[in-house]
């Protein structure tokens, strides 16, 4: 029997689980006892809810037995972000690049570790790159990621490099942190980045950063395609165009970051 005042379809246990997620989002980290007290649960029930959420990958427990939300929550948000203002504004810029080059155009967001794919426009070619919305990839070996990493404040970049292990995906992946820093210096000077089969064989990309209203390089747009079509000459044409498009998009988002332009 449903509790008086609740709809017959109301699932109380589901609601309690969601309330726990909301509490963790507000307070960042809570113990089992703190969750029980805030949600008026007994400690055993609180522990079962948290253990279930941990098993499903939505929370994690630290060395002090405090529970935190994981990035899985952020991933869920990214998958529905096609309705967000950033996606709406960026869509026209992406379409401009799609029409110009007929290759796959991607919009990525940096979450402090990886690149999340927010939106894309597929190439009309039979052979094309297929990246799923909501998927993520390492920042250090993607054009989207390097375009953002290069413009991070020095302290944030230092922190990223300190906690990130540079794993090789192909023989072209940069796994030396000194060399990666040098590469990011070049990206910062030129205003664009490239991925020369660093994440996957046969895939080449060019990207440029997009600055948000806080002048932060939170986003990037890339053009990606098979290496058979993404020749050096063609990528040079893309480099100039994508910088212009991303600079205009940054202005629309009221970004104040400057993107160096090189012909």
Q: What is the 3-state secondary structure (H, E, C) of 202-246?
A: CEEEEEEEECCCCCCCCEEEEEEEECCCCCHHHHHHHHHHHHHHH
Cβ pair 24, 68 in contact under 8 A: yes
| Angstrom distances, CA of residue 41 to CA of 19, 72, 173, 242, 248 | 11, 25, 50, 54, 52
Tell me the C-alpha distance between 225 and 103, whole Å: 6
Tell me the C-alpha distance between 78 and 69, whole Å: 15
Which pTM does this prediction carry?
A: 0.67
| Angstrom distances, CA of residue 214 to CA of 119, 198, 219, 227 | 21, 30, 12, 35
Eight-state DSSP code of residue 50: H
CATH topology of domain 77-252: Beta-Lactamase (3.30.450)
Which tokens hold the place of 223? 């053009």
For tokens 């600079």, the residue is 247
252 burial via Cβ count (<10 Å: 0-12, 13-18, 19+): middle
Tens of pLDDT, residue by residue, the chain (263 residues): 344 456 777 888 888 888 988 888 888 888 899 989 988 999 999 999 999 999 998 899 888 889 988 888 777 766 555 446 788 888 999 999 999 999 999 999 998 889 988 889 988 876 656 676 667 899 999 999 999 999 999 999 999 999 999 999 999 999 999 999 999 999 999 999 999 999 999 999 999 999 988 888 989 999 999 999 999 999 999 999 999 999 999 998 874 444 444 33
Whether 77-252 and 12-69 are alike in CATH topology: the answer is: no
Task: Identify the H or E element spanning 38.
Answer: helix 32-39
Supply the angle between the helices 32-39 and 12-27 in degrees, to the nearest 10.
120
* DSSP string for residues in 144-182: HHHHHHTTS-HHHHHHHHHH-----SSTTS---HHHHHH
Question: What region, left, alpha or beta, does residue 241 occupy, with left being phi > 0 and alpha being psi -120 to 50 degrees?
Answer: alpha
| Angstrom distances, CA of residue 73 to CA of 5, 21, 105 | 30, 9, 25
In our burial notation (b when 16+ CB lie closer than 10 A, e otherwise), range 132-145 reads ebbebbbbbbbbbb
Q: Max Cα separation, the chain?
A: 71
The reply to whether CATH 3.90.1170.50 applies to domain 12-69 is: no
* Domain regions of the chain by residue span: 12-69, 77-252
pLDDT, one tens digit per residue, over 149-171 is 999 999 999 999 999 999 999 99
Q: How many CB atoms lie within 10 A of CB 85?
A: 9
Task: Say what the pLDDT of residue 28 is.
Answer: 80
């Amino acid at each position: 029997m449903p509790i008086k005042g609740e709809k017959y379809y109301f699932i109380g246990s589901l609601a309690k689980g969601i309330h726990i997620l909301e509490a963790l989002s507000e307070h960042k980290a809570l113990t089992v006892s703190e969750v029980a007290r805030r949600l008026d649960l007994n400690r055993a029930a609180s522990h079962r809810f948290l253990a279930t959420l941990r098993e499903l990958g939505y929370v994690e427990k630290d060395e002090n037995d405090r529970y935190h939300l994981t990035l899985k929550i952020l991933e869920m948000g990214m998958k529905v972000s096609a309705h967000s203002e950033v996606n709406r504004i960026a869509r026209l810029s992406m379409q401009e690049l799609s029409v110009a080059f007929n290759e796959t155009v991607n919009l990525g967001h940096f979450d402090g570790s990886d690149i999340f794919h927010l939106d894309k426009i597929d190439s009309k070619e039979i052979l094309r790159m297929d990246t799923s919305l909501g998927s993520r990839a390492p920042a250090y070996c993607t054009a989207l990621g390097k375009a953002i990493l290069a413009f991070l404040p020095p302290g944030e970049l230092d922190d990223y490099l300190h906690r990130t292990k540079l794993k090789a995906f192909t023989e072209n992946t940069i796994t030396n942190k000194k060399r990666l820093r040098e590469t990011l210096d070049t990206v910062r000077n030129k205003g664009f980045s490239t991925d020369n089969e660093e994440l996957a064989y046969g895939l080449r990309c060019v990207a440029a950063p997009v600055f948000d209203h806080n002048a932060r390089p939170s986003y990037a747009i890339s053009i990606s395609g098979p290496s058979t079509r993404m020749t050096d000459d063609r990528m040079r044409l893309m480099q100039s165009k994508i910088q212009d498009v991303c600079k205009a998009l940054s202005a629309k988002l009221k970004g104040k970051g400057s993107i160096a332009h090189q012909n």
